[in-house]
Amino acid sequence: MSDAAPRLARSAGLFGLATMASRVLGLARDQVLAYYFGAGDAMDAFRVAFRIPNLVRDLFAEGAMSAAFVPTFTRELTTGGKGRAFALANSVITALLLITGLLVVLGIVFAEPLVRSYAEDFADVPGKLELTVYLARIMIPFLMLVAVAAVFMGMLNSMGHFFIPALSPAMFNVATIVITVGLMPLSQRWFAVQPIVLVAVATIVGGLGQLLIQWFPLRREAFHYRPSLNLKDPALGRVLMLMGPGTIGMAATQINVLVNTQFAAGEGTGAISWLDYAFRLMYLPIGLFGVSIAAASTPALSRLAAASDTVQMRSTIASAMGLMLALNIPATLGLIVLAEPIIALIFEHGRFTSRDTAATALALQYYAIGLVGYSIVRIVSPAFYALHKSRIPVIASISSVIANVLLNLILVKVMGYAGLALGTSLAAILNATIQFVWLRRELGGIQAGQVAVTFAKVLAAAIPMAAAAWFSQMWLLGFFPGDAIALRALRVLASIVIALAVLSASAWVLRVREFQDAYDVVGRRLGRLRR
């Protein structure tokens, strides 16, 4: 085995550290929104209105940029140096500004039919549809900001900078928290608008923050943006050619969530918010582990593909898969077992009721089933684009979306809104399976036996961890009953600590090497912080 795993773990650890800060602030943001708006009509309207710009953010920041831009930019950086790579970046940014600018204009003009197309049932509640359209028009310009921010992130990742790009989404969360808490009491008296409108404005402010925080490290790398669009540049042609397939290939999860929104709009007030709160919480380990590992591995895979080093590509992918399994399988079982106490601790304040907690926890448990599937796609899909095999993830993604629609039609009748979460998870597992099997064929194997052994060992270590979490939660509930925040925090944190101790012991007994890689990275980071 090469040293790909330790190198990958170091890069993913740095990305994950910044992502952790961003995701924690994201949870704080959701706590603020839950406190002020709960799961009511205003929150439903905001979630639907933000769905389209948020979809583009997820696709560009964690999808198309990784799949299309990063491999091409890395190739140009490797073969032509910074000057050639930066010329490509200027062309890509200019092209995206033109494309997204047109989309923003069209989105503002056609906001009402767009919202009606997937939330028509909102018209049954007086003022709800109109509010959703108004919020959508405010937030649609976020598309342009996030597209450019995604290019910045791809450039910095390709040049070995992971911390600041991973931290940039935190600016979005900070803006929402500060503006909501600071200006909410003044919304109607000073601004004569509904309080939820300020949250929409905060979205735009946060998008600007994502750009600015990444601009400074790019300037230190001597990058200066100059509007240019060299349509004869073959590198730009490769990016644009891959951008469409790259977006589709990485889009399955986000499109499935959009489909869920359409189905959930007919499930009554609260269903959209319950699913959205649950999905964002489930997405925490994806952001910490799946996206972090993918962001670290994609530039490496791009360089190896450019050098036609398939042997090392197989090793790097296997290492990324093993590290992802070691982190996400325990996270899956932990979220399933502790869903309700975690939701209650984080969100059950203000207008977010115990009924909302139970409903959101159920959605979280079903979403968590697909956690490993979501993360596998993040790792495997960019490898196809590095190999110029873009049609494969596109086929897998389309198959996943079709499967999700069919599953939703069946499960929503049987399970209500919770069936939508389960359908999304099953579709994600299908998507991951198709891409994993196909990549193995393309590379002539990706050490599948080693990945299977890691999966079995990690699962064997995670099962007693989950049992320990459940029993400790029940035991602590008996000794420390009550709904006070301090008591809830004590029970959840103690259960997690006990579960992690059991997981560590199980992993040591089973000699799961990937846990040791992760522990080494964490130990070094903490050592540097102490110094």
For the chain, give the mean pLDDT.
Answer: 81
Distances in Å between the Cα of 158 and the Cα atoms of 19, 223, 299, 404, 459 are 17, 13, 6, 34, 33
Report the pLDDT value the prediction gives residue 277, as an integer from 0 to 100: 86
Task: Note the pLDDT tens digit of each residue in 323-336.
Answer: 888 888 999 999 99
Instruction: Give yes or no for a contact between 291 and 19, defined as CB atoms under 8 angstroms apart.
Output: yes
Residue 526: pLDDT band (50, 70, 90) is very low
- Residues 413-467 have pLDDT tens digits of 888 889 999 998 999 899 889 988 888 888 877 777 788 888 899 999 999 999 9
Amino acid (one-letter) located at 492:
V
Which of 280, 255, 278 has the alpha carbon at shortest distance from 56?
255
Q: Based on the number of CB atoms within 10 Å of its own CB, is 21 exposed (0-12), middle (13-18) or buried (19 or more)? A: middle
Give the range with max mean pLDDT: 130-144, 149-163, 230-244, 386-400: 130-144
Say yes or no to pLDDT of 232 above 70: yes
Q: Output the pLDDT for position 361.
A: 94
pLDDT at 530: 45
Residue 120: DSSP 8-state: G
Q: CA 185 → CA 135, 172, 195, 198, 252, distances in Å?
A: 19, 21, 8, 11, 39
pLDDT at 1: 43
Per-residue pLDDT, 292? 59
Q: What is the pLDDT of residues 248-281, one digit of tens each?
A: 555 566 677 777 777 787 777 778 888 888 988 8
Residue 401 contacts by C-beta under 8 Å, 6 or more apart in sequence? 252, 255, 256, 259, 427
Cα-Cα-Cα-Cα dihedral sign, residues 403, 408, 413, 417: positive
% the chain with pLDDT above 90: 21
Whole-number pLDDT of residue 160: 78
Rounded CA gap, 34 and 40, in Å? 9
Give the pLDDT band of residue 131 (cuts 50, 70, 90). very high
Query: For residue 359, is pLDDT > 80?
Result: yes
Cβ(198)–Cβ(187) under 8 Å?
yes
Residue type, 393: P
Q: Which of 17-21, 48-52, 308-312 has the lowest mean pLDDT?
A: 17-21
- For residues 15 and 160, give the distance between their C-alpha atoms in angstroms, rounded to a whole number: 10
Helix (H, G, I), strand (E, B) or coil at 192: coil
SS3 191: coil
The closest of 162, 53, 168, 152 to 93, measured between CA atoms, is: 152
Q: Which helix (H) or strand (E) holds 523?
A: helix 513-530
Residue 528 has a pLDDT of 46
Assess whether pLDDT exceeds 70 at residue 199: yes
CA–CA distances in Å: residue 498 to residues 52, 343, 510, 511: 40, 19, 18, 20
Residue in the block written with tokens 């992130």: 153
Which residues are CB-neighbours of 188 under 8 A, at least 6 positions away?
A: 194, 195
Average pLDDT rounded to a whole number, residues 151-165: 83
Pseudo-torsion of CA 164, 166, 169, 171, nearest 10°?
A: -30
> SS3 string of 219-266?
HHCCCCCCCCCCCCCHHHHHHHHHHHHHHHHHCHHHHHHHHHHHHHCC
Average pLDDT over residues 34-52: 85
Put simply, whether the predicted model's pTM sits higher than 0.85 gets the answer: no
What is the distance between the alpha carbons of residues 201 and 499, in angstroms, rounded to a whole number? 41
Residue with tokens 């932990």: 334
- The residue-averaged pLDDT of 334-342 equals 93
Q: Which of 219-223, 349-353, 494-498 has the highest mean pLDDT?
A: 494-498
Residues 281-320: tens digit of each pLDDT: 887 776 555 555 666 666 677 777 777 777 888 888 888 8
Distance CA 291, CA 227 (A): 30
List the Cα angle 466/469/470 in 5-degree steps. Answer: 90
Assign 7 to helix, strand or coil: helix
* pLDDT of the residue at 260: 73
pLDDT in tens, 466-481: 999 999 999 998 888 8
Q: What is the pLDDT of residue 525?
A: 45
Amino acid at 82: K
How far, rounded to the nearest angstrom, does the alpha carbon of residue 402 sit from its chain's CA centroid? 21
Q: How many CB atoms lie within 10 A of CB 93?
A: 20
